[in-house]
Amino acid sequence: MSSMRPYRLFISLISALILASCGSEPAKFADVDSQRLLNAAATPEEWLTYGGTYDEQRHSGLDQINADNVAQLGVAWTYDLATERGVESTPIVVDGVMYVTSAWSVVYALDAKTGKELWLYNPNVDKAVGAKACCDVVNRGVAVWKGKVYVGVIDGRLEALDAATGELAWSTITVDQSKPYTITGAPRVVKGNVLIGNGGAELGVRGYLSAYSAATGDLVWRFYTVPNPNKQPDGAISDSALKDIGNLTWGDEGAWTTDGGGGTVWDSIAYDDVNDSVIFGVGNGSPWNRDVRDTGKGDNLFLSSIVAVDAATGAYKWHFQTTPGDNWDYTATQTIILADLPIGAGGATRRVAMQAPKNGFYYLLDAATGKFISGEAFVPQNWAQGLDVNGRPIENPEARYGETPFMQNPGPLGAHNWQPMAFNPELNLAYIPAQEIPDFYASDSLFEDRIQSWNTGTNLAAGLPMDLDLATAMALRATLKGRLIAWDPITQSARWSVEHSNAWNGGVLSTAGGLVFQGRLEGEFAAYNAVTGEKLWHQNVKSGAASGPGTYEINGEQYVTITTGWGSAYALAGGSAYDQPVPPIVGKVVTFKLGATGTIPDPNLVMAPRTPKADRFGDQEMIQLGFDKYHFNCRVCHGPLAISSGVLPDLRWSPISANADVWQSIVLGGALSANGMVSFADTLSPSEAEAVRAYVIKQAHDGAALEAEVAALMAAQVATP
């Protein structure tokens, strides 16, 4: 085991000498500058930025933990994040301190060796803001720079904290807070500017990326990804790109003129230091349905695009649109990875930008020009026949759905979502946390804009069964698939692939130890052989393991870490996606090292009694009305078919379902609006709210019967030798 490379040993000796000569020097916290960030790949002891390095490869040079010894990996420490809501954070580790976030944008500084809490910062978000969050009140992490820690807060604030104490240094509001904007993504610091985007395109906003001075919090530049409703200049750096390119691809009428058009920059931001470009991913259209969004039926740039701008000024350089005229929530916000691949003339390297967006195709672009090099589907999909020579999809006409539901793969949750992919530059392999979550698309004939509510222009009840018997439940569950795919971007084909038992699995970490780490929805965290895909080690982390794992080294010991917790956007797929009912479980940071023998505390498995709280009521017409209204208004938080993912209350078992008056006081009266359960008085009449209750009670009776049936089947299986 010779993980300590000579140069690192040398550096350690030097720093020991420096420390010895000025022993009273105060400890430095997050002492990160441009040089250190640019050099991150050569200092794998630290994890300095969300994607590990500016090129977002999530590949660590550490090799102490490798195929020969990974079986000895054990729990070094755990830290309780004290939230039952979704956790998606990748920890930053620098100068011995781990900076990590959890739900509601809370930031924690921990001793990276022991997990001991150094400080905690709570931005004290008004919980009512939860109603704006499409996909739970998650946060994917912080950025660090010159003694400060930067966090994007779910309510649209960008804040700078003192890295030593957690005290607020500055705070600025980056969005119009009267609109349904949220921030879930991790900021990046490039050239002294903090880059931050936002989300909200399900409810209706206009997307942009902003750069703020890391020192002062002043706005330096802003790039809007779609025109404003009048196609007039904003006085922003995006003005000329929108005038010359963007505006021409939008009509003058449609819901985009009131809904903002979408195009939020809610996740990936890479920095290409060779070309001095910031390259970011742009999200879906708002509303989703293009017929409703833009009667002009154009490509709607820069929706679903990868955009490159000048790093210092934000001036437009190039774009590549993955899904012209997005109609399906096909964001191109997924991980953008930069790499040098031997694909030039005579084996020369060519600098590329790569992405595996929601639409299911893997793209290879020239990082300098954005020119399409190649692309291929990495999952089975039925919306396009392939890509043309320019990388434009050749659409299956049925995918431009009407009122008849079309079952499409990928669905809105995508063939790959926010869970970060990784790239091993020694093997030239990308590792994609891929999934199949097909869904029905159909237009909503009664579409009208609803403030502070989902506005997709699609029928959110399309294709779902009114009655859930065992066969239907099993058929639905069987459509959900997940894979870890080792993808060769040069040949655009899978080298190997590991089939998982479910979709919505975790982000990926690649290491020079020849390993690939990935968590799974059901709580398994595993290491695979990077070359063969053979599973070499696994541990049950006792909660959902969806985040991107990280690795670092302290005093010559390598650590591997992951944040856990149920939740995140799987609320959208709901509890029917799980094989077992999921209890609320508190999220954690779980950190491993070789030879450690710690344990992960057992979760608190107390679940509310899963029994109907009232007798069935309502005739067929009322139940049908309740089914429709439920799926249009409640599905996105309480789960399809009224089956919760375990994060927000499962209405079937709620005592409130038994009491018509209390139900109305919450659903229409807004009695719990301070907690993110908004009033639906603008969209539902009292009799419609009561119809929703009738449907929920029906689902409680059907669900209890179904669970009894499943339990009996499982008992019979155990009894049969």
Residues that bind ligand HEC in the complex, under the rule CB under 6 A: 130-131, 633-634, 636-638, 648-649, 651, 654, 656, 663, 666-667, 672, 675-677, 680, 692
> Residue 29 Cβ, how far from ligand HEC at the closest point, in Å?
35
**Exposed, middle or buried: residue 337 (CB in 10 Å: 0-12, 13-18, 19+)?**
buried
Residue indicated by tokens 């502070």: 452
Cβ nearer to ligand HEC, comparing 149 with 642 = 642
State which amino acid sits at residue 27: A
Q: Could you tell me if 607 and 582 are in contact, meaning their C-beta atoms sit under 8 angstroms apart? A: no
Query: Could you give the CA distance from residue 608 to residue 226 in angstroms, rounded to a whole number?
Result: 46
Cβ nearer to ligand HEC, comparing 422 with 648 = 648
> Residue 616 Cβ, how far from ligand HEC at the closest point, in Å?
17
> Residue 604 Cβ, how far from ligand HEC at the closest point, in Å?
17
> Residue 134 Cβ, how far from ligand HEC at the closest point, in Å?
8
Cβ nearer to ligand HEC, comparing 415 with 667 = 667
> Residue 480 Cβ, how far from ligand HEC at the closest point, in Å?
22
Cβ nearer to ligand HEC, comparing 379 with 656 = 656
Question: Across the chain, which distance is largest between two alpha carbons, in Å?
Answer: 83
Q: Could you tell me if 480 and 549 are in contact, meaning their C-beta atoms sit under 8 angstroms apart? A: no
| Cα-Cα-Cα-Cα dihedral sign, residues 680, 574, 359, 530 | positive
Phi-psi sector, 329: left (phi>0), alpha (psi -120 to 50), beta: left
Query: Could you give the CA distance from residue 536 to residue 520 in angstroms, rounded to a whole number?
Result: 15
Nearest alpha-carbon partner for 61 in 79, 47, 77 = 47
Cβ nearer to ligand HEC, comparing 45 with 136 = 136
> Residue 666 Cβ, how far from ligand HEC at the closest point, in Å?
5
> Residue 638 Cβ, how far from ligand HEC at the closest point, in Å?
6
Query: Could you give the CA distance from residue 58 to residue 65 in angstroms, rounded to a whole number?
Result: 16
Nearest alpha-carbon partner for 366 in 446, 453, 451, 277 = 277
Q: Could you tell me if 152 and 158 are in contact, meaning their C-beta atoms sit under 8 angstroms apart? A: yes
What number of other Cβ atoms are within 10 A of residue 240's Cβ? Answer: 13
Tokens of 429: 């392999």
Cβ nearer to ligand HEC, comparing 245 with 672 = 672
Cβ nearer to ligand HEC, comparing 86 with 141 = 86
Cβ nearer to ligand HEC, comparing 593 with 629 = 629
> Residue 79 Cβ, how far from ligand HEC at the closest point, in Å?
25
State which amino acid sits at residue 219: L
Query: Could you give the CA distance from residue 29 to residue 149 in angstroms, rounded to a whole number?
Result: 10
Query: Could you give the CA distance from residue 215 to residue 211 in angstroms, rounded to a whole number?
Result: 12
Q: Could you tell me if 395 and 387 are in contact, meaning their C-beta atoms sit under 8 angstroms apart? A: no
Cβ nearer to ligand HEC, comparing 436 with 650 = 650
> Residue 636 Cβ, how far from ligand HEC at the closest point, in Å?
5
Q: Could you tell me if 416 and 493 are in contact, meaning their C-beta atoms sit under 8 angstroms apart? A: no
